[in-house]
A and B are shown apart, each in its own frame.
Chain A
Amino acid sequence: MCLSLIPARYEQEGDEVFQVKQCPEHGSFRTVIWRGPPDMATWQRPKIPAKLDYYASEMERGCPFDCGLCPEHRQRTCTAILEVTQRCDLGCPVCYADSGDQGPDPSHTQIEAWYRAVLRGGAGCNIQLSGGEPTLRDDLPELIALGRELGFGFVQVNTNGLRLGREPQYLEALVQAGLASIFLQFDAVDDRAYERLRGRALLEDKLRALEACARLGVGVVLVPTILPGVNLDQVGPILKLALEHSPTVRGVHFQPMSRFGRFPGGLSDDQRLTLPELIQAIDRQTEGRFPATSFRPPGCENSLCSFQGNFLLHPDGRVQALSQAHDPACCPAPEPAEQGALRTIARVSRNWAAPEPTVSPQACGCGAPQPEGPLSLEQFIEMARRRTLSVSAMAFQDAWNLDIDRVRDCCIHVVSPQGKLVPFCLYNLTSSSGERLYRP
């Protein structure tokens, strides 16, 4: 709670795993990390650490105090997040970035310097423009175009979607500038959760944003922040809505709630949703259409940080898992971390962007009957390009459960105002009294 570096250990009790640590000043802490199957010990995808050509920071105080990245880091950048404004039009009760009216937006010169810093430390990665609410900037199209001109192939905007639904011409300008995908905060299919998490009813705005993206052929990833007791019951309904809106909706990326930024009150163990619980909830709430066995540990970041599965949507409504099932009995051989990152960069840019227009009635999902027997190679490829849904989740780490062994494998990096690359969890790390390790 004070952001001091202290020793910690994992303790297993039945099928639950806790992180246990002792702070000389603030006493002992115990936070749940994992509950239920698949067993944490089997959720492994070991990696051979990546060595980068360039590190913007040197090791002085040691991890996690020298981020930039420093040579102790073990993974390259997969996604670089640029916060192009700290302003926001929502003022949610909970906000990782603690956004609000905080000074002027960074200039084009500043943002170009950030892009160039990413080129030095993580060339070839995907870009996410975030905030604050990035669509409050009228010049967002120019910022997207700047990223594309500098060579970034995939530029995504992380948004609440309000302006996209209200001003389709604004969305059109983003698309013309080279936008690849919208990362749409989407917590529920009813307004109860929005009122609790965001302070007001937003479902209609969200659906309007989705319709605008559908009209312009923009790929959308729905991003639900899940808080047990508020919207854990929405996991299945959100996936059902995603299927109904395919191929506009290309993925659903769940984010269990973490205690970052503006977060009134604490987060009890009852309110902490672990990855295996989320996997089981997906299976249960979709009546096995997205089975627990179809999700795998990540090839890019630390195994304990996420899960991912790809699914093919058949015209008859059947959902087929495309990713290989995770085998809990098998001990996978270590893979080079950098190769995993490069695969993830390619997969994200392929699966989260809008699919190419199709000519085949099977691939368009418009109700054409599926042919008897196996698909031809060509039919399968066309369907897979267009009719896939990526389902994933990321378990962020806050001051109560941060493990620097995990954070050194992080591939999602926020660009600091100084142009340093900082793992997302460390950038947002917030003490119980609101102090930050990195965020200004």
Chain B
Amino acid sequence: MNMENIRPGDLEWRCQKCGGNLEPAMVTVEYLGNEFTTELPRCPRCGLVMISESLALGKMAEVEQILEDK
């Protein structure tokens, strides 16, 4: 699995809803009708994912800029 978007410390977080450990998982994210895949820390029980600040302000912000024509 490509762990490019998961930093080692990300997997030390626990799910707020379930309290369980997060595991790397391939997820599909959707924005303005476009779907993308990426690996994210995910709660195996409820499916909640964690998006790190660096991913939100980096690649995700760039995708947002491309799609919103900002």
Contacts and interface: CB of A to CB of B under 8 A. Distances in A.
B8 to A, nearest CB: 19
Contacts of B32: 324
A384 B63 CA distance: 9
B45 interface: no
A364 interface: no
Contact of B59 (A299, A324, A374, A377): A377
A312 to B, nearest CB: 8
A381 B66 contact: yes
Nearest to A376: B37
A299 B69 CA distance: 10
B70 A381 contact: no
B62 A381 contact: yes
Interface of B: 2, 4-5, 28-29, 32, 34-38, 59-60, 62-63, 66-70
B28 A377 contact: no
Contacts of B67: 322, 324
Interface string A331-374: 00000000000010001000000000000000000000000011
B59 A378 contact: yes
Contacts of B70: 343, 347
B69 A374 contact: no
B69 A380 contact: no
Given A378-B59, A380-B34, 16 more contacts: A310-B69, A322-B67, A324-B69, A347-B70, A373-B37, A374-B35, A374-B36, A374-B37, A375-B37, A376-B36, A377-B59, A377-B63, A380-B36, A380-B63, A381-B66, A384-B63
A385 to B, nearest CB: 9
B1 to A, nearest CB: 12
The 9 closest A-B pairs by CB, nearest first: A374-B35, A323-B69, A384-B66, A377-B38, A377-B36, A377-B59, A376-B37, A374-B37, A343-B70
Contact of B36 (A308, A322, A323, A375): A375
Nearest to A312: B66
Secondary structure at the A interface, as helix, strand, loop or mixed, is: mixed
B15 to A, nearest CB: 23
A310 B2 CA distance: 30
Given A296-B69, A322-B69, A323-B69, A376 B38 contact: yes
A305 B10 CA distance: 48
Contacts of B62: 381
A106 B60 CA distance: 47
A323 B2 CA distance: 29
Contacts of A296: 69
Nearest to A383: B66
Contacts of A378: 4, 59
A381 B35 CA distance: 13
A336 to B, nearest CB: 13
A380 B35 CA distance: 10
Nearest to A384: B66
Contacts of A347: 69-70
Interface in A290-334: 296, 299, 308, 310, 322-324
B28 to A, nearest CB: 6
A312 B63 CA distance: 12
A277 B37 CA distance: 39
A299 B68 CA distance: 12
A367 B5 CA distance: 28
B46 to A, nearest CB: 23
Q: Which of A322, A375, A377 has the most CB of B within 10 A?
A: A377
Nearest to B38: A377
